């Protein structure tokens, strides 16, 4: 990818809700490319659609990027020489340029009503021709303009597209050409004076010195319009941003992403217990590859390896199972301190613990027992609740498994062996129970220890049994076994 200029990329969402997979994949590639080249990562908020973009969504977008570790060099909260970085605070800039385009003759006022435009589109559909503005107001006379104004009509500002075509080199797709008969004159400014995306994004990219635009393939068709704005601004060809349109992300069914197959907000993944590095690791693989079939990479490795040349043009497929596998790998790679820090909020939110020093110490002892067993942090509360619950009760679905005579015999024998133990640790617990239940009674471990697991932890699923019993303590274990015998 061309790097003759110092690289500056931008992530410019229009946050009309929480940021989703597609948004963040774009932000990640922008960030990685900036870090790889020693360039600048600019964060800009496109909030001119005031009916849909709220302060809450803007703040959520800022918080999401921070949580993911995608720190920006220029933008909201950071500042920079090209602010403000919210488009709603740049309206005077867009108005000034729109007026300049009108003065130059690159743009014109269009007085066509919505009903008239719809009638044109309907006629085009019936004639099976490409839909688009028919140029009705391109060359109005002064008398026609006066007549429209006398009718009280309000005008939009349209950009005048010349005949011919636009060709540009996309760094992922190669040379791309758009015939202008499919790119009709387009609106720059609404009748209420608010700018449209095509005007604001093009002006901001030039004024903010953006050199490389990495964005989704769905915006490919808007590129000739933005290039037309550059031309009207008088920008030299060598100073145009370089475009690279990233491939679509599809669901497992080859359909566009939806909530059913992965397209939910990053906030949802965060609540489910996915680590930010796991999300970034997985999203990096959607359309890009380090080239050696590796799937587990760190953020540092991503910045070292990422190049646009390795981005594919074909659609990427979102695979939730692969994301879960990567998340599990990242969890297992955490140090105990890191694992504790990430897990505590989930335990507190689930009311497993209140957060006392004594509880946290027990959590630290228990976490190594589940670190190899979970793929998401939100699985921790269910596995550790038995250690902290004040009113212990066996899961109703498991009661039947400890209610028959065979299970009662196992529990009575276990209680007798455990009462006799002088030392309470997992080695002594396991040794006594294996000798009694497996060697002397000839029971299979699965049968022998399932009843004991249910009686002490309340469930058929728990961390390793003997280590769990050690952490639970002798008194609590014997009390729970006695309660199970009374069921």
Tell me the sheet residues that pair with 169. 175
Structural contact between residues 436 and 417, judged by C-beta atoms closer than 8 angstroms: yes
Give the closest residue to 222 by CA, choosing from 153, 176, 277. 176
CB half-sphere exposure, 433, CA atoms < 13 A: 27
**Residue 304 has which token pair?**
């070292």
Catalytic residue (choose from 66, 149, 259, 349): 259
Can you spell out the DSSP letters for 32-84? HHHHHHT-EEEE-B----TTT--HHHHHHHHHHHHHHT---SBBTTTB-TT--
Provide the 10 A C-beta neighbour count for residue 252.
Answer: 14
- The string of DSSP codes covering 8-46 is EEEE----SSS-BHHHHHHHHHHHHHHHHHT-EEEE-B-
How far, in Å, CA of 266 to CA of 20, rounded?
A: 5
**Which backbone phi and psi does 40 adopt, to 5 degrees?**
-115, 135
State the DSSP H helix or E strand holding residue 178, giving kind and residue range, or none if neither: strand 174-179
- Would you say 401 and 487 are in contact if contact means Cβ atoms under 8 Å apart? no
Distance CA 84, CA 288 (A): 33
Side-chain half-sphere exposure of 255, counting CA atoms within 13 A: 7
Instruction: Tell me if residue 363 falls in helix, strand or coil.
Output: helix
Provide φ and ψ at 288, rounded to 5°.
-140, 155
Phi-psi region of 222 (alpha: psi -120 to 50; beta: other; left: phi over 0): alpha
Report the run of H or E that residue 169 belongs to, with start and end. strand 165-170
Q: Which residues contact 369 (CB under 8 A, 6 or more apart)?
A: 463, 464, 467, 468, 471
CA 352 to CA 381: how far, in whole Å?
Answer: 6
Q: How far apart are CA 43 and CA 441, in angstroms?
A: 68
Assess whether 259 carries a catalytic annotation.
Answer: yes
Tell me how crowded residue 314 is: count the other CB atoms within 10 A of its CB: 9
CA dihedral 279, 215, 192, 120 (to 10 degrees): -120
Contact 159, 106 (CB under 8 A): yes
Active site residues: 259
């Amino acid at each position: 990818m061309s790097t003759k200029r110092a690289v500056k990329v931008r992530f410019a969402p229009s946050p009309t809700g929480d940021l989703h997979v597609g948004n963040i994949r774009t932000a990640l590639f922008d960030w990685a490319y900036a870090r790889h080249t020693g360039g600048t990562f600019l964060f800009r908020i496109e909030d001119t659609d005031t009916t849909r973009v709220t302060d809450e969504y803007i703040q959520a977008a800022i918080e999401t990027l921070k949580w993911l570790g995608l720190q920006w060099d220029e933008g909201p909260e950071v500042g920079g020489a090209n602010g403000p970085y919210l488009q709603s605070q740049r309206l005077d800039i867009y108005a000034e340029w729109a007026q300049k385009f009108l003065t130059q003759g690159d743009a014109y006022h269009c007085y066509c009503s919505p009903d008239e435009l719809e009638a044109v589109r309907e006629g085009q559909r019936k004639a099976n021709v490409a839909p688009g503005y028919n140029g009705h107001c391109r060359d109005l006379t002064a008398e026609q303009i006066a007549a429209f104004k006398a009718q009280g009509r309000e005008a939009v500002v349209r950009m005048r597209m010349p005949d011919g075509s636009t060709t540009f080199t996309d760094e992922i797709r190669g040379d791309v050409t758009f015939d202008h008969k499919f790119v009709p004159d387009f609106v720059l400014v609404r009748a209420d004076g608010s700018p449209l995306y095509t005007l604001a994004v093009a002006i901001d990219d030039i004024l903010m010195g953006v050199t490389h635009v990495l964005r989704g393939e769905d915006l490919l068709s808007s590129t000739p319009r933005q290039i037309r704005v550059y031309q009207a601004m008088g920008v030299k060809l060598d100073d145009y941003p370089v475009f690279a349109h990233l491939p679509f992300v599809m669901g497992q069914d080859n359909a566009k992403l939806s909530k059913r197959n992965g397209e939910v907000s990053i906030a949802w993944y965060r609540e489910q217990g996915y680590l930010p590095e796991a999300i970034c690791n997985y999203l990096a693989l959607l359309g890009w590859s380090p080239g050696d079939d590796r799937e587990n990479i760190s953020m540092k490795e991503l910045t070292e390896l990422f190049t646009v040349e390795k981005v594919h043009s074909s659609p990427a497929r979102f695979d939730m199972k692969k994301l879960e596998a990567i998340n599990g790998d990242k969890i297992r790679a955490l140090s105990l301190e890191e694992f504790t820090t990430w897990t505590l909020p989930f335990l507190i939110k689930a009311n497993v613990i209140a957060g006392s020093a004594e509880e946290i110490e027990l959590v630290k002892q228990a976490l190594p027992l589940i670190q190899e067993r979970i793929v998401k942090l939100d699985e921790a509360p269910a596995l550790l609740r038995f250690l902290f619950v004040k009113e212990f009760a066996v899961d109703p679905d498991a009661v039947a498994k400890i209610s028959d005579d065979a299970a009662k015999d196992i529990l009575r024998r276990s209680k007798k062996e455990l009462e006799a133990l002088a030392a309470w640790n997992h080695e002594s617990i396991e040794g006594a129970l294996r000798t009694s239940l497996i060697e002397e009674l000839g029971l299979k471990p699965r049968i022998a220890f399932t009843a004991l697991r249910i009686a002490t932890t309340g469930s058929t699923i728990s961390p390793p049994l003997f280590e769990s019993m050690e952490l639970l303590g002798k008194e609590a274990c014997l009390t729970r076994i006695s309660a199970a015998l009374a069921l």
